[in-house]
Structure 1
């Protein structure tokens, strides 16, 4: 059973102690208070999964606390407890948003059963949210696989870093698969059963990004018609992935630094500090050290983010992965478009292998999708690929008045594309791997 963060709100000391002892014995984190004011203060300070709420709190009504708790944390599951249970009160509590109820007196087994039921509900909600997101972005690029030694080294480091709570900074060109790495690190970690929130920093206007991350109170600014818990609260216990973190506005950088250091933050329109247990993974396609030198990125935030740095290599530096990835995309888009396409013609394979892929894996994905859609036969040809991948044939040929190095580079590219491994390519070229490595470095392959 998952460990829950549980809030107990009851004005009877013995009930609070009994509930707290029973739930803590099951491993749950428990906070117990006696009145609505303290309940809301704790709700703003911590992120709770569940609340046991007495409907009669001295002179105050617990019924009015239900919508307030839900406005603060929409995912919270509230179990009302009362010694004056009636059909009317239960119906009203459910109407206001309660999940379950217990009549006093209740036994420890009933409490454990209620907590266990809520734990399963929360687990299923997180799984369903993850499945929905997976369905929306489903594609073969989400599988981490590579025949390239450099890429394999990055994958190994990612696996080693995953079980810790250390911040991971993913660097690399756009389209190399940094988001795929972030999801893999989350899946390999002990936080895998908890939510992962993805925030694409450039996609959200800077004036709204702070609200998106940290949340806001109703009325905090024009258009804030309701409370927003924010992405940090929504992925409590899980992972927050900040994509293109180099684009954060200075004000948001300062708030993020404080959250990383103290695990505390404030929602817009509130003065009360909140706490959250969230692991940070960040990604960037820019040189953050250069931005620090230019005064566009906080130096202290850079060092906080740069705990474990992984650089994802561009596709052009791992040519042995181009055709396997293209075949994966081909199979995926063939099924998606109900087409039976067996592969690429030799000319198309050479075009794929010779292209530098400035857009990396994302560009390759788009090129293959286009080829599948336009292809009329069982093989994708050069004509089915984008013009950017297959420009006018200006490749040097034997006998052309070009430097010998141009012929050598083209030959090495084509042999690499047709070989299953670097060793196989070196054997075909009649050179050792060290010489091939030097040639690749010289030609930027």
Structure 2
């Protein structure tokens, strides 16, 4: 019998090892779960899981979602709220203001005489991943048979007008109903899709009364707004608050000059209890939008046509208020998605109405030159404009199926 040389024996062992090394990865790949975990990080972390299967891929071909560098079962970090503004004259804006006759004067900057258009042509680009653009057709399908409510102050009304216009401009007017007569309740309905997007004006999310003696607002920090009974049963809820706090009432006692942070904390706890007691998390998605920044002082919005390019720029909104919101969501049993638009909005000093928030802009323009801090609206936003990006990120959150907010340490 011929003997096997040490070299031949080593060669055969190498071949066997190579075969085994090929078989093992194939085995594990075959039995791995078809999912991608996407962790969105920022001042809060939003843990997301995207399930991938053949039926999902075929049903949403219109959505161009490309998470760069992601493989199955690979942890990948993509913060959709962190990125940069890119000039995109071909892709922006997503509609024309004239397509939505129901837009209020406050946001209709072009109709009110603003002559520049560059502020409409910026697109948000997230770092490290490509997020889908707002797809009105896909959004209409996702909302079919559903009810969306947007509750909060005039900045949430700004977002409601944007979302209503994004969807309205994609449909024949005969297939829609829009009621904007009330200052406290507005609704857009898509008849063919059997869904509605409603706005409830509630700037504090709490019950408001008026002091009969001096006319001052009184907030009941232990009671949610009276309209809350109408919120129940919505499929998607989007809330905001944080502006305009001045006089409070808690447990039946009026408290003047109360610490803002303490009062806000009480209100947020009251809101959180209502959500936990009245929302079925298996049927309803809850969102909370972060504070929309103003632009005053050094970065005053008047006569500005370009975004702020200084990455270190931050507005003066109190960080303590933001921390209260984050702490509250962390304690809730109901999953809440944090629509964290503050930082990306800080750089858009060019996107405010300024004097173009009214048809009387010529008179304001003259006054503006003498006293700009009084007459320029540097709080709200032109449409088309920045709130369209807020709704794009709302859409992205629905596409990615983000759910539980987990605060970073």
Structure with the bigger percentage of helix:
1
Greater C-alpha radius of gyration? 1
TM over 0.5: no
Q: Point out which structure has higher relative CO (alpha carbons under 8 A, 6+ apart).
A: 2
